[in-house]
């Protein structure tokens, strides 16, 4: 039997290239797209106009928040004052925080008897007026020293138990809020205020 010739015998074989065999494919970094830098002029102008836009927000925001009517249960709406939050007749006024008013129980000598809701906002510049139980001031009716007054911490406006102005730059007495009794409950409508005056004590609600 005769051996057949190998057809691949006469085909020249490629000689491997040692340098190519050792070569490593190195990834090529793709440059990122260039960003437009913010110029100093644009940065300064942006900060300026942002500040200008925030100024009216700062000036008006707190006032609008203070004056904006709230829903029931908060300032601007009806407040239900439970019996445990009603001071005794002639006792120190009680601060009703959520309604921003003082609950006062006046005696007959103070112009009552009855309850009065005094808005704690000073009519002068809007400062919150606290009750000072140790502050002494002459009683305008007798001239004798009396302890216990509403006194504004900002400019010294001083008010009686009924919120009647006796001293200071305030243009009038403390404003009052309407009060009703419904099924034995005391409801103060903080959205219904009356400008304060010498007749504050006559606005009491008898219980």
Task: Evaluate if residue 66 carries a pLDDT over 60.
Answer: no
Count other C-beta atoms under 10 Å from residue 197's C-beta: 16
Predicted local confidence at residue 103, as pLDDT: 96
Residue 76 has a pLDDT of 85
pLDDT reported for residue 72: 46
Written as one string, the DSSP assignment of 124-190 is TT-PBPPEEEEEEEE-TTT-SEEEEEEE-TTT--EE-TT--EEESS-SSPPPEEEEEEETTEEEEEE
Q: Where are the domains of the chain?
A: 39-68, 78-203
The pLDDT value recorded for residue 198 is 95
Q: Per-residue pLDDT tens for 43-57?
A: 787 777 777 777 765
Q: How confident is the model at residue 64 (pLDDT cuts 50, 70, 90)?
A: very low
Rounded CA-CA distance 84/201 in Å is 22
83 vs 36, which has greater pLDDT?
83
| Tens digit of each residue's pLDDT (9 = 90 or more) over 17-37 | 555 555 555 555 566 555 555
pLDDT over 70 (residue 151): yes
Main-chain phi, psi angles of 83, to 5 degrees: -55, -35
pLDDT in tens, 153-197: 999 999 999 999 999 999 999 999 999 998 878 999 999 999 999
Q: What is the mean pLDDT of the chain?
A: 81
Q: Where are the beta strands (DSSP E) in 11-113?
A: 78-81, 94-96, 101-106
Give the confidence band of 74 by pLDDT, cuts at 50, 70, 90. confident
Look at the domain 78-203 and name its fold: Rieske Iron-sulfur Protein (2.102.10)
The count of other CB atoms within 10 Å of the CB of residue 76 is 17
């Amino acid at each position: 039997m005769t051996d057949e010739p190998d057809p691949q015998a006469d085909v020249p074989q490629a000689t491997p290239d040692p340098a190519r065999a050792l070569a490593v494919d190195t990834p090529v970094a793709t440059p990122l797209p260039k960003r437009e830098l913010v110029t100093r002029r644009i940065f300064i102008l942006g900060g300026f106009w942002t500040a200008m836009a925030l100024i009216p927000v700062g000036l008006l925001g707190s006032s609008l928040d203070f004056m904006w009517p709230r829903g029931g249960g908060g300032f601007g709406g009806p407040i239900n004052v439970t019996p445990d939050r009603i001071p005794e007749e002639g006792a120190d006024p009680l601060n009703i925080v959520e309604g921003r008013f003082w609950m006062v129980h006046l005696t007959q000598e103070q112009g009552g008897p009855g309850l009065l809701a005094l808005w704690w906002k000073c009519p002068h510049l809007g400062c919150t007026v606290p009750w000072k139980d140790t502050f002494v001031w002459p009683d305008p009716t007798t001239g004798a020293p009396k302890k216990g007054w509403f006194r504004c911490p900002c400019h010294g406006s001083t008010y009686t138990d009924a919120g009647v102005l006796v001293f200071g730059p305030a243009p009038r007495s403390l404003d009052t809020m309407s009060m009703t009794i419904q099924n034995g409950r005391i409801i103060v409508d903080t959205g219904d205020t009356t400008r304060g005056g010498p007749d504050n004590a006559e606005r009491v609600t008898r219980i």
